[in-house]
Amino acid sequence: MPLLRVNNLILHFRGVTALSDVSFEVRRGALHAVIGPNGAGKTSLLNCISGVYRPQRGNIEFDGADVTRLSPATRTKLGIARTFQNIALFRGMTVLDNLLIGRHVHQKEGVLAGGFFYGPARAEEIANREIVEDIIEFLEIQHIRKKVVGTLAYGLQKRVELARALALEPRLLLLDEPMAGMNAEEKEDMARFILDINEDRGTTMIMIEHDMGVVMDVSHRVTVLSFGEKIADGSPEEVQGDPAVQEAYLGQSHG
């Protein structure tokens, strides 16, 4: 059974159709790319999966359960985490504190017990810190762990946001243009970390990305949207050779 199944999603805003009867599946352990020209509906799709938008029709199944009507917070608890096109971190806080906040969804002990910091609450805090330190080491950000996020270079902020999403221990990680605005070296680093998260941690991923070279290099499967409609779905090689995809991107078919 796929980890995620999107069935016949229809989403519109004031008469403008953002998604038109979109269906696709994401298998467990896959690194699944969603691509398409600007305005294709890619971010709207992620917003439906994460619960920010509620489609007018269709449904979303996560691990066999219908999650279409669940809140974003409930979906996060089920194991769906995401990063954003525009970095959504607490810029006045340190890297470490941003990651510890990312662990709040797994907090079992109440605030009162946490305030007195004894017994189970203390054990939980220690366990959370161990998980966060492991992620810091995994993404090679030890040297900035105590730095205030707002003082960091853009590429490092993107890596910290990825780290915070990992702190949620997601079963499905949604990446919205993780390499946007990066230079070639930063893109290379980010691509390597994304591959490591998928291969070493076994995390299933959906990635929106404009860099076709990256998409073709790292993805197992690619879904292509154009003007809110799915126009192709298959392996990177299949999608790259699809005339409809070439038409959508280039405005003309090449063979």
Tens-digit pLDDT string for the chain (255 aa) = 899 999 999 999 988 999 999 999 999 999 999 999 888 999 999 999 999 999 999 999 999 999 999 999 899 999 999 987 666 678 889 999 999 887 866 555 444 444 545 556 677 778 888 899 999 999 999 999 999 999 999 999 999 999 999 999 999 999 999 998 899 999 999 999 999 999 999 999 999 988 888 999 999 999 999 999 999 999 999 998 999 988 887 664 443
Class of residue 172 by CB neighbours under 10 A (exposed 0-12, middle 13-18, buried 19+)? buried
pLDDT of the residue at 64: 95
Q: Give this prediction's pTM.
A: 0.87
pLDDT of the residue at 35: 95
Q: How far apart are CA 165 and CA 167, in angstroms?
A: 5
pLDDT of the residue at 252: 44
Domain boundaries 1-79+170-255, corresponding CATH code: 3.40.50.300
Q: Which two tokens stand for residue 124?
A: 């939980």
pLDDT of the residue at 126: 81
Report which of 11, 55, 72, 63 is spatially closest to residue 204, judged by C-alpha positions.
63
pLDDT of the residue at 166: 93
Q: Where are the domains of the chain?
A: 1-79+170-255, 89-169
Helix (H, G, I), strand (E, B) or coil at 46: helix
Q: Which two tokens stand for residue 133?
A: 């330190």
Report which of 200, 202, 234, 203 is spatially closest to residue 220, judged by C-alpha positions.
234
pLDDT of the residue at 94: 93
Q: Which two tokens stand for residue 207?
A: 């990635």
